[in-house]
Amino acid sequence: MIKLAKRFTLQEFLETLKKYNVEELEGVKIEGDLEIEFEGSSIDLSAVAPLYAIISDLSNFLYHANMALSYMQRLSSVLGIPMPFAVQPAVSAAPPAPKVEEKLKLPEKLLEAKFTPYKVEYPGKVEEVVLGATRADGGTRDYTIKLGGEKSLAFYMFDSPQPNLPAIAIDVFDRPPALAKAVKMHYEDVLTNPAEWARKCVKKFGADLVTIHLVSTDPLLENTPAREAAKVVEEVLQAVKCPIIVGGSGNKEKDPEVLEKAAEVAEGERILLASATLDMDWERIANAAKKYGHVVLSWTQMDINNQKTLNRYLLKRANMPRNSIVMDPTTAALGYGLDYAFTNMERIRLSALKGDEDLNFPISSGTTNAWGARESWMSESPLEGDTPWGPRELRGPIWEIITGLTLSLAGVDLFMMMHPTAVATLKEIFNTLGGKNTAKIDDPNAWLKMEV
């Protein structure tokens, strides 16, 4: 009996192969620890020796399943051990100890495969809400803005065409607000004149709409009477011919009265009244909207269930028409809770598409909140450990852009913003994803070799 210098067991061999995830070996049954010995003269040792060398050195180069399997098969045929998988023709001559180059059996051709995109169709649809009214509809606006109407996730044009791209409103205040320097510099000349301010937003910065915030009505500030504040609304309606949004001060007691007056002076203009909340007299605001033909912004604090509740109240108790509600589920700045805002809005939109009729309304975002993030306005990091923050003039607008971009992907239909560059960039993004931007470059591979 001739024995190999070093014996090995089939079990060891199989274990080694298993390290390489040879799944096909699952069916192999080994009874006991079978020892393989070579006897007699039927085997040419010169043929077995290199094989043995290969096996004992498996971990060095047998690293893919097919290779391992083919060696296994060759071995089995040489040794005459039956294998449970399809046996290949016996290898007549012993293979030479392969070099790496030969071992890598590269396919000659690409394996053709077809990519079939997974199709998604939702049963639900977001309500389409019109802001503004032209003369034909009893208003004095030059044009109207349509929000919503989606049957798919934002910009998923491959699922379903998106009837309306998001619209952008620029904020105007009835008293000079505290603003980051980078924002303020663009409005310095109009801070005390809301009508001029509104005009600048439209003419110079391309706003689709303007929002006039009647902040001075706050009892803790000037406590401007509602009737007087409403005059500013009239001035703005005179100054610009785009649809407008009117905001209160956020004071729960005063806002219903202020928005009621604003609704009255803007009768027929189909303005958006911002906002009705759960902890105020939302019914009074809804009634004013119905009476004078406006739309209500339903504002909740990042809570999908509260959003559902308030919408139901507006629909069922105040009998608001379905085409007259927009939601503001609250916007948090990039780095300061944007994840909550994004996920809350994304969940709301997915619910709408899946058919939840308490949530299928267009979404609005107070994107100006991005300027609350210190990264957008602070001249340098207050922390010594940070890599220096770089010029804030460039950080601020991009903070507003990325906040807006992120929420647009969650489904926001209406953005309330402030920095002109941020407004222009978001418009560019919407037009691009909406298929309205024809710009192109010659060669998308060129960056691989560019020397800058």
Partner 1 sequence: MKVKSPLEVYNLLPRTNCKECGYDTCMSFAAHILDRSAKVIQCKPLVEQSEKDPKAKSKLEKLLDITAPEIAEIVIGSGDSAVKVGGEEVLHRHELTFFNPTAFFYDVWDTLDEKKIEERCEWVAKYRKFYVGKYLTLDGIAVRCTSNDPSKFGNVVKKVASYGKPMVLVTLNPDCMKAALEEVADKKPLIYAATEENWREFLRLALEYKVPVVVRSSDLDKLKSLAVTFKQAGVKEIVLDPVTEPVGEGLKRTFERVIQIRRTAIEGGDKDVAYPIMVTPISAHLINADDVTKEYWEAVIGGMFVVKYADIMIFHTLKQHVVMPTLTLRANIYTDPRTPVQVEPGLRPINDPKPEDPVFLTTNFALTYYTVESDLTSAKIRGWLLVLNTEGICVEASVAGGKFTASGVKQLIEQTKIAEKVNHKYLVIPGLAARLQGAIEDETGWKVLVGPIDSGRIKGWLEKNWPPKK
Name which of residues 53 to 72 contact partner 1 (CB under 8 A).
63-67
131-160 binders of partner 1 (CB under 8 A): 155-158
According to the binding rule CB under 8 A, does residue 41 interact with partner 1? no
C-beta of 86 vs 448, nearer to partner 1: 448
Binding mask 291-330 for partner 1 (x = CB under 8 A): ----------xx---------------------------x
Residue 414: strand pairing partners: 167, 364
Please state whether beta strands 128-131 and 145-148 pair in parallel, antiparallel, or not at all (unpaired).
antiparallel
Residues that contact partner 1, how many (by CB under 8 A): 94
Spatial neighbors of 414 by CB under 8 A, at least 6 apart, are 147, 166, 167, 168, 169, 209, 326, 362, 363, 364, 365
Question: Which member of 120, 192, 203, 225 binds partner 1 (CB under 8 A)?
Answer: 120
Q: How many CB atoms lie within 10 A of CB 256?
A: 23
Q: Select from 79, 94, 130, 409 the one that contacts partner 1 (CB under 8 A).
A: 409
- Distance from chain centroid for Cα 288: 35
Parallel, antiparallel, or unpaired for β 167-173 and 209-213?
parallel
CB of 264 to partner 1, least distance (A): 27
Q: Which of 346, 356, 357, 358 binds partner 1 (CB under 8 A)?
A: 346
Distance CA 416, CA 384 (A): 34
16 binds partner 1 (CB under 8 A): no
104 scored as a contact of partner 1 (CB under 8 A):
yes
CA distance 345 to 149: 16
Return all residues near 121 (Cβ < 8 A) that are at least 6 apart: 159, 160
Cα separation, 418 vs 213, in Å, equals 13
Nearer to partner 1, 6 or 114 (CB): 114
Does residue 348 contact residue 329 with C-beta atoms inside 8 Å? yes
Taking CB under 8 A as the rule, which mask of x and - marks residues 389-408 in contact with partner 1? Answer: xxx--xx-xxx-xx--xx--
- Of 107, 121, 123, 188, the one binding partner 1 (CB under 8 A) is 107
Instruction: Please list every residue from 196 through 225 that binds partner 1, using CB under 8 A.
Output: 220
The answer to whether residue 124 forms part of the interface with partner 1 (CB under 8 A) is no
Among 117, 188, 253, 305, binds partner 1 (CB under 8 A): 117
Judged by CB under 8 A, which of 1, 86, 100, 136 binds partner 1?
100
Site for partner 1, residues 266 to 285, rule: CB under 8 A: 279
The rounded distance, in Å, linking the Cα atoms of 292 and 288 is: 6
Residues in a beta bridge with 128: 148
x/- mask, partner 1, residues 227-256, rule CB under 8 A, reads -----------------------x------
197: its two tokens: 């301010």
Is 385 a residue that touches partner 1 (CB under 8 A)? yes
Q: Is residue 184 involved in binding partner 1 (CB under 8 A)?
A: no
Using CB under 8 A, pick the residue from 1, 5, 136, 439 that binds partner 1. 439
CA distances from 58 to 17, 71, 135 (A): 8, 10, 84
Q: Is 372 in the site for partner 1 (CB under 8 A)?
A: yes
What residues contact residue 332 under an 8 Å CB cut-off, 6+ apart? 302, 338, 340, 341, 369
- Binding to partner 1 (CB under 8 A) within 415-434 occurs at 421, 425, 429, 432-434
Q: Does 451 bind partner 1 (CB under 8 A)?
A: yes
